[in-house]
A and B are shown apart, each in its own frame.
Chain A
Amino acid sequence: MGFENSFFARRYGITGRDLDQYLSEALARGADYADLYFEYVATSHISLDESIIKGATEGVSLGVGVRVVSGERTGYAYTDDLVPEKIREAARVAACIADAPAKVEKVGLQPVAAHKLYEVALAPTETSFKERAALVERADKAARAFDPRIFQVQATYADSLRHVMVASSDGALSVDRQPLARLSVTALARAGSGAPQRGYAGGGGRLPLDTFLTDKTPERYAREAARQAIVQLDAVEAPAGETTVVLGPGWPGILLHEAVGHGLEADFNRKGVSAFSGRIGEQVASPLCTVVDDGTIPSRRGSLNVDDEGAPTTRTVLIEKGILRGYLQDKLSSRIMGAKPTGNGRREGYQHIPMPRMTNTFLLAGESDPEEVIRSVARGVYCATFGGGQVDITNGSFVFSASESYLIEDGHITRPVRDATLIGNGPEAMRHVSMVANDLALDEGMGTCGKEGQSVPVGVGLPTIRIDCMTVGGTK
């Protein structure tokens, strides 16, 4: 898409000359670098509870953020008003971070060659609300039809369409149109007068609405949520202590996000505060492990044509056969570290300063048969689904919460166990990976990652793997 036809040029009459002027203003105090981030986001949200649609909301937010970098210092200001005097004022405020004679004469903006990972002609946000509302109603019916013990269902559909334009003083000008949608279902099950149990499932991505009618259907997620809730009715206490753990394919890839991914974000490593700092080239995982962050997979929730600094996303090998290979870079960190940018500079929106973030993070498939992995375990825990996770990047401790897991007894999956947190240490846990199966799956497209108060959509993926020793936080 050329700049002249871009959303901001057409709708707000922004010209190349305007961008040059704003950037000159931002560089007027002698900074090394500046960028402008224009953002327009339209969102929709539909919620169903007790079989009726109780809420529908749509909205628009618009603004521009101006960032000025001088050495390792960043100045930032934004405005929710796109009139020239407001943008210039933001540029002047951000420029105060620098204090030297102006250096850059004229920027000479050139369009960036971006990927085409989500060419959705009609974004879900642009479709009729009736069609989208039908999705949550279908989910409700399917979850209730799954089993008479399902007594509560909540379904939520949400989408957004984000137009972004980044103009930077290194000459790069990028525009992107980023559709995103997700559908999620919560089901509660109860047997007789017993205690209720919950199941949760959903999916989405940068997709046309049709995908929810053909592949990522409401029925699929409704049945999955209902199934999980029913399974939990028979759950026994989870074991406590160190044991062998088998993680199933897909969403359990959150292991990599927490155990490895955050610790490899370049800002932490540039500052030397990560448990992985200064360990490039070292063995940090078993030789079976190759971990990749890839922002270029079509239609995925964590993918981007260009990152939020206007750089094309890439596929970055973080760990290759157990050896630490690289960090996730943004412009600031890559410049200071003298490293190649990886297109991982992301931000929640125009009010936020970008920083290195993950996109889609996963472990490459191995050669084992998934059945064989389970059969190899005499006693342990099999985790099929997880809730969220968290990591302390400095000491490496990470956790993730199993929401559907089972005991493994004599090589067989037996009884379901109640929710438990698993805890480990990033650089150590990955060394205990002793089997990697051939069934790599990416998650369904529901993940959101939080860092320093900013949320961004991400993806994870994993084949079935065996970890010889992890601490399981049960009660028995």
Chain B
Amino acid sequence: MNSSVNNLEELAAGAVRLARELGATDAECTVSAGDEFTTNVRMGQVESLKESGSRGAGVRVLKGRRTGSSYTSDLSGEDVRRMVQAALDLASITSEDPHAGLPEPEELGRIDADLKLYNDDIASIEAARKIELARETERAALDFDPRITNSEGASFDSYTGQRVFANSRGFLGSFRGSQCSLSTVPVASQDNTMERDYWYSAARSLAALEKPVDIGRIAAGRVLRRLGARKVPTQKAAVVFEPRTARTLIEHIFEAVHGEAIYQQASFLAGKLDCRIASECLTVIDDGTLPGLFGSAPFDDEGVLTRRTPVIERGVLKSYLLNTYTARKLGLKTTGNASRGLAGNAGISHTNLFAGAGPLPPAEIVKNVRRGLFVTELIGFGVNIVTGDYSRGAAGIWIENGEFAYPVSEVTIAGNLGGMFTSIEAIGNDLEFRGSTAAPTILIGEMTISGS
């Protein structure tokens, strides 16, 4: 494994050197290699099994203030040379961009502490055991209740890989990562209608996965409580987002503080730095330094040190999320959020972006709602970050006088993100990380619910 990492580092450094030799002012190279395993078990039988690995490399070159990029999945010497030349050729058709360039030298760096991104136990486990984990998970869901009559199966997925980055300012870094997940999708039926739901656990080590029987039972409980769902009349009412759906609100905050959307004025939060944009109970942090979490990394995709960035503090917008380019455009400093696949100009991604936990247990939050919707599922893409207009399909449970009354489906919830964030009335104490965004239960005082 070590020798292969070294080979990939040499490849990245070599591509950068070659680009300089062929006339690039500056160059950066990303190399990635990984192995995936996935198996799906349905109704107790193995449905599919996939196991393979792949590699790829990409370069971005600068000729003065013009950039060009290319990538290849073929890492033989000749193809790497072709890739570098292609990027250089492309730099002649792009425009002079005064803000284009590599990060300032003092921004380059990496976290030296062990971020616990890689664990050996994922690569070493036998396929038969992975299949068995999926089978146990599905069985737990199917055995939970006779109304669970069918299943889309259970999956075990894992990935182990390395990522290498080099640039012509002397940065050369690499790290390994691993992750695995176990999930199941049971189907329940009653009175000629069917519902499905899912639950999952994901971790960077096998040992940290939740127990199959727990995942299966939670999935089963979730699908059962959807049976018999109905529409509610159109009205304005409170909306409670449970953690699985509250997370999506944090993703919208990410889109709205994304450096590109900010300088293009394509976000309703553009120009709102240091303004109150949310209720005082909302604090949102981006932190790429948390050990073992999914969004952590020692450096970003430009070789800039990752860090902890408070985005919203007690309702006040404190920072956008930026890479080098957008920071220069805005006269700010990069926040270490550069992101890219293999090639191209760096984009932006969050690291671990989450809303800080509040004081209340979720049950208390629900108890204080007189009338409203507890949202367990959202579908569709009805969010406009330019205006903040929000309108999405929703399903969940109706709350009447602080109690769960009946399941609801086929309604929409609508509002404007600006107004929704300022009318957050409570945040739960139930923060947990199941991905690189996370949020506790969030109560919004009023939204428009469209139904019958």
A interface, CB within 8 angstroms of B: 45-46, 49-50, 52-63, 72-81, 90, 93, 96-97, 129-130, 133, 151-152, 154, 188, 190, 195-198, 238, 240-242, 271-273, 275, 351, 353, 387-392, 394-395, 397-401, 418-421, 423-425, 471-476
Contact = CB atoms under 8 A, between A and B. Distances in A.
In the complex, the 7 A-B pairs of residues with the closest C-beta atoms, listed nearest first: A473-B412, A399-B380, A59-B71, A241-B234, A52-B95, A421-B382, A399-B393
Contacts of A397: 379, 393, 395, 409-410
Contact of A59 (B226, B342, B377): B342
Contacts of B67: 54-56
A400 to B, nearest CB: 7
Interface in B430-452: 448-452
B395 A474 contact: no
Contact of B380 (A72, A388, A425): A388
A8 to B, nearest CB: 14
B265 interface: yes
A475 B229 CA distance: 23
A474 B382 contact: no
B415 A475 contact: yes
25 contacts: A49-B264, A54-B94, A55-B67, A55-B344, A56-B68, A57-B69, A57-B70, A57-B343, A57-B344, A72-B45, A97-B46, A188-B264, A241-B234, A273-B187, A273-B196, A353-B50, A387-B381, A389-B380, A392-B196, A392-B377, A419-B382, A423-B411, A423-B450, A472-B412, A473-B450
Contacts of B345: 54-55
A196 B50 CA distance: 47
A97 to B, nearest CB: 6
Given A59-B58, A419-B382, A401 B46 contact: no
A76 B100 contact: no
Interface of B: 42, 45-52, 54-56, 58, 67-74, 79, 83, 86, 89-91, 93-97, 100, 150, 152, 187, 193-196, 226, 229, 231, 234, 264-266, 268, 342-345, 377, 379-382, 384, 386-387, 389, 391-393, 395, 409-416, 448-452
A50 B325 CA distance: 14
B48 A423 contact: no
A473 B414 contact: yes
B93 A273 contact: no
A419 B96 CA distance: 37
Nearest to A46: B93
Contacts of A72: 45, 47
A15 to B, nearest CB: 21
Contacts of B54: 63, 78-80, 351
B381 A401 contact: yes
The SS class assigned to the B binding surface is: strand
Identify which of B71, B90, B411 gathers the most chain A CB atoms within 10 Å of its CB. B90
A475 to B, nearest CB: 4
Contact of B49 (A63, A74, A275, A401): A74
Nearest to A130: B93
Contacts of A80: 54-56, 73-74
Contacts of B379: 390-392, 397-399
Contacts of A62: 73-74
Contacts of B50: 75-77, 353
A241 B196 contact: no
Given A60-B74, A197-B386, A473-B393, 7 more contacts: A55-B67, A55-B69, A58-B69, A80-B55, A390-B379, A392-B196, A476-B448
B24 to A, nearest CB: 14
A198 B270 CA distance: 15
A82 to B, nearest CB: 9
Nearest to B57: A59
Contacts of A387: 381-382
A52 B265 contact: no
B414 A421 contact: yes
Contacts of B231: 471
A423 B393 contact: yes
